[in-house]
Amino acid sequence: MTEELLKEKKERLAPLFGDPTYVPMKLKELAMLLNVPREQREELKEVLDALVEDGTIALSRRGKYGLPEVKRLTGVFSGNARGFGFVTVENLEQDIFIGTDRTGGAMHGDTVQVEVWPARGGKRPEGTVVKVLERANQTLVGYYQKNKHFGFVIPDNQKIAADVFIPEGKDLGAVTGHKVVVRLTDYGGGRKQPEGVVTEIIGHVNDPGTDILSIVKAYGIPEEYPAEVMAQVSRIPDEVLEEEKAGRKDIRDWQTVTIDGEDAKDLDDAITISREDYGYKLGVHIADVSHYVTEGSPLDKEALKRGTSVYLVDRVIPMLPHRLSNGICSLNEGQDRLALSCIMEIDYDGRVLGHEIAETLIRVDRRMSYTAVNEIIQAGEEKQEGMEAAETDMFLLMKELADILRKRRYSRGSIDFDFPETKIILDEKGRPAEIKPYERNAATRIIEDFMLMANETIAEDYFWQDLPFVYRTHDNPDPEKMKRLGLFINNFGYHIRTQNGEVHPKELQKLLERIEGSQEEALISRLTLRSMRQAKYMPQCTGHFGLAAKYYTHFTSPIRRYPDLQIHRIIKENLHGRLTEGRISHYDSILAGVTIQCSSTERRAEEAERETVKLKKCQYMADRIGQVYEGVVSGVTNWGFYVELPNTVEGLVHVNELHGDYYVFDEAKMELRGERCGQVYRLGQKVKVEVSGTDRLTRTIDFLPAKEEDREE
Helix (H) or strand (E) segment spanning residue 705 = strand 700-705
3-state class of 194 per DSSP?
A: coil
Of the candidates 439, 422, 429, the one whose C-alpha atom is nearest the C-alpha of residue 617 is: 422
Cα 233 from chain centre: 32
Last residue of a domain, one of 134, 153, 188: 134
What does residue 67 show for φ and ψ, rounded to 5 degrees?
Answer: -65, 145
Give the total number of structural domains in the chain: 6
The answer to whether 143 and 226 are in contact (CB under 8 A) is no
pLDDT at 10: 85
122 & 30 share domain:
no
Same domain, 350 and 497: no
Q: Tell me if 198 sits within 8 A of 146, measured CB to CB.
A: no
Which domain does 651 fall in, by range? 624-711
Look at residues 480, 473, 508 and name the one whose alpha carbon lies nearest to residue 494.
508
**DSSP-assigned letters across all residues of 196-233:** EEEEEEEEETTSTTHHHHHHHHHTT---SPPHHHHHHH
**Which pLDDT belongs to residue 387?**
66
* Residue 619 in domain: no
Q: How far is CA 165 from CA 157, 184, 198, 230, in A?
A: 16, 9, 10, 38
Count the Cβ atoms, other than its own, within 10 Å of residue 640. 22
CA nearest to 331, candidates 86, 559, 137, 669: 559
Give the N- to C-terminal CA distance of the chain in Å, as an integer: 61
Residues near 146 by Cβ (< 8 Å), separated by ≥ 6? 171, 174, 175, 176
* Beta bridge pairs of residue 115: 72, 128
Q: Which of 1, 3, 118 minimizes the C-alpha distance to 52? A: 118
- To the nearest 10 degrees (0 to 180), the angle between helices 41-53 and 3-18 is 80
Judged on CB neighbours under 10 Å (0-12, 13-18, 19+), 146 is middle
Q: In 7-19, which positions are buried (b, 16+ CB within 10 angstroms) versus exposed (e)?
A: eebbeebeeebee
One domain, residues 380 and 407: yes
> H or E segment at 9?
helix 3-18
| CA 455 – CA 468 distance, rounded (Å) | 16
Q: Is residue 615 part of a domain?
A: no
Q: What was the pLDDT predicted at 547?
A: 92
**Which CATH number belongs to the domain containing residue 185 in this structure?**
2.40.50.700
Spans of the chain, pLDDT less than 50: none
Query: Helix, strand, or coil here: 136?
Result: coil
DSSP 40-94: GHHHHHHHHHHHHHTTSSEE-TTS-EEPPPPEEEEEEEEE-TTS-EEEE-TT-SS
Both 385 and 265 in one domain: the answer is yes
Q: Please, is 121 exposed, middle or buried when counting C-beta atoms within 10 Å of its C-beta (0-12, 13-18, 19+)?
A: exposed
Is there a single domain that holds both residue 304 and residue 406? yes
Both 254 and 325 in a single domain? yes
pLDDT of residue 624: 94
Closest CA to 308 of 297, 321, 295, 317: 317
Q: How far apart are CA 634 and CA 642, in angstroms?
A: 5
The answer to whether 23 touches 17, Cβ cutoff 8 Å, is: no
Closest residue by Cα to residue 440 from 261, 687, 184: 261
Specify the pairing of strand 151-155 against strand 471-473. unpaired
Per the rule left: phi > 0, alpha: psi between -120 and 50, beta: everything else, 425 is beta
Burial of 709 (0-12, 13-18, 19+ CB in 10 A): exposed
Give just the sign of the alpha carbon dihedral 406, 409, 410, 416.
Answer: negative
Residues 6+ apart with CB under 8 A from 242: none
Q: What letter would DSSP give residue 327? A: I
The H or E element that residue 673 is part of is: strand 671-674
In terms of domains, do 403 and 265 share one? yes
* Alpha-helix runs per DSSP H in 347-467: 370-379, 389-412, 442-465
The contacts of residue 97 (CB under 8 Å, 6+ apart) are 84, 86, 124, 125, 126, 127
Query: Which phi and psi (to 5°) does residue 164 adopt?
Result: -100, 125
384, 414: one domain: yes
C-alpha 344: how far from chain center: 32
- The residues near 205 (Cβ < 8 Å, ≥ 6 apart) are 143, 177, 178, 179, 211
Residue where one domain finishes, among candidates 576, 610, 644: 610
User: Are 553 and 632 found together in one domain?
Assistant: no
**Strand order, beta sheet including 663-666:** 663-666, 671-674, 680-682
Q: Is residue 272 part of a domain?
A: yes
Residues in Cβ contact with 453 at an 8 Å cutoff, skipping those fewer than 6 apart: 282, 284, 344, 346, 352, 405
160-165's contacts with Cβ under 8 Å and 24+ in sequence apart are 160/79, 160/107, 160/108, 161/79, 161/80, 161/81, 161/82, 161/83, 162/107, 162/188, 162/193, 162/194, 163/193, 163/194, 164/140, 164/193, 164/194, 164/195, 164/196, 165/193, 165/194, 165/195, 165/196
CATH code of the domain covering residue 36: 1.10.10
Q: Residue 673's domain is classified under what CATH number?
A: 2.40.50.140
Report if residue 217 sits inside a domain: no
Angle at 460 (CA atoms; ends 458, 463), nearest 5 degrees: 105
Alpha carbons 203 and 653: distance in angstroms, whole number: 33
Q: State how far the alpha carbon of 469 is from the alpha carbons of 429, 464, 570, 593, 613, in Å.
A: 45, 11, 7, 13, 34
In angstroms, the CA 223 to CA 227 distance is: 13
* Whether residue 703 is found in the same domain as residue 654: yes
DSSP 16: H
Q: How far apart are CA 568 and CA 571, in angstroms?
A: 5
The answer to whether residue 46 sits within a structural domain is yes
Q: What is the pLDDT of residue 120?
A: 60
Structural domain includes residue 238: yes
Residues 247 and 355 in one domain: yes
Instruction: Report helix, strand or coil for 647.
Output: coil
Please give the C-alpha separations between residue 252 and each of 94, 237, 255, 633, in angstroms, as whole numbers. 57, 20, 8, 54
Same domain, 80 and 171: no
Q: Is residue 213 part of a domain?
A: no
Q: Do the domain assignments include residue 221?
A: no
